[in-house]
Amino acid sequence: MAQWGLGRPDTARELAALADAGINYSPTEVRRPAWTLDTHLHGLPAERPGPPEPGGPWERACRVVRDYEFTPPESVRALYDPAVPLLGRNMLLQLRFHGLHLYCGVRITEVVDETRDDGARVWGWAYETLDGHLERGKVTYEVVKYRDTGRVEFVAASHSQRAPDLDPVLTLGWSLFGRRAQLRFYRRCGVRIRDSVTADSEGRAGPMPPATPPRAWGLVWVPSDAGARFAHSPEIHCVTPGG
């Protein structure tokens, strides 16, 4: 059941509670037109043809993706335990819409680390939505280097659907703003990771620092450039908005 309140909820407790949550959909359900299927490609600084260069754009982009530092802080922030291995890690997402903050859980269910038949070197991971999430579905984030040309890309692919048990207020909000918010999120992810990789290659301070993100009680809030997280304006929040 959706839990509404004022101020920040106990986010450490909510993250811990995700251990008992299940994936809130079945892949057998995914088909158009009931589901939205997206693939967003964002070009990154290129390398020379061949395998990824040590310390080059592909490796730097992988680091940013690994830590989920590319998420736009005005839209989505995330809390996780860095001591938990990437595969199987739960993250508590804070979805932000002006003064309304929605807290939803996701779990990393896949790590991609391969060289494909065409020679492309790929690294990334995917999360799936947990019980109580605003949406149902999966997002895969990958960094790809094409060995033949040196081209490097960030790819975000997803299938998604509004959770069926949203209350009337959130259902209306999703109808009015949901798709636009999705598309803006993917655009901003591409801009942020490209800016970070470019700034890093030029020795400038990028939009997200390479240092370890700030921690609270052993947990990590990302992205690191979001500013203070425990001294902020009052919020209206909803935990497990998907019921």
pLDDT at 213: 52
Establish how many alpha carbons lie within 13 A of residue 145's alpha carbon, considering only the half-sphere containing its beta carbon: 24
Element counts in the chain: helices (H) and strands (E): 4, 11
pLDDT at 229: 47
Domains and CATH numbers, the chain: 3-239 (3.30.530.20)
pLDDT at 223: 94
Burial of residue 227, with CB atoms counted within 10 A of its CB: 0-12 exposed, 13-18 middle, 19 or more buried: exposed
pLDDT at 230: 46
pLDDT at 217: 63
CA distance 207 to 181: 21
What sign does the dihedral 60-61-67-71 (CA atoms) show?
positive
Count CB-CB contacts under 10 A for residue 136: 23
pLDDT at 204: 52
> Which residue type, as a one-letter code, is found at position 101?
H
The answer to whether 163 and 243 are in contact (CB under 8 A) is yes
Specify the long-range contacts of residues 93-97, CB closer than 8 Å, at least 24 apart: 94/11, 95/134, 97/173, 97/177, 97/181
What's the Rg (C-alpha) of the chain? 18
pLDDT at 152: 98
Q: How confident is the prediction along the chain (243 residues), in pLDDT tens digits per residue?
A: 789 999 889 999 999 999 999 999 999 999 999 999 999 999 999 999 999 999 999 999 999 999 999 999 999 999 999 999 999 999 999 999 878 999 999 999 999 999 999 999 999 999 999 999 999 999 999 999 999 999 999 999 999 999 998 988 899 988 889 899 999 999 999 999 999 999 866 555 444 444 445 555 689 999 998 865 444 556 899 999 987
pLDDT at 104: 97
Q: In terms of pTM, does the model score above 0.85?
A: yes
CA distance 44 to 65: 13
Using alpha carbons, select from 102, 79, 90 the residue that is nearest to residue 174.
102
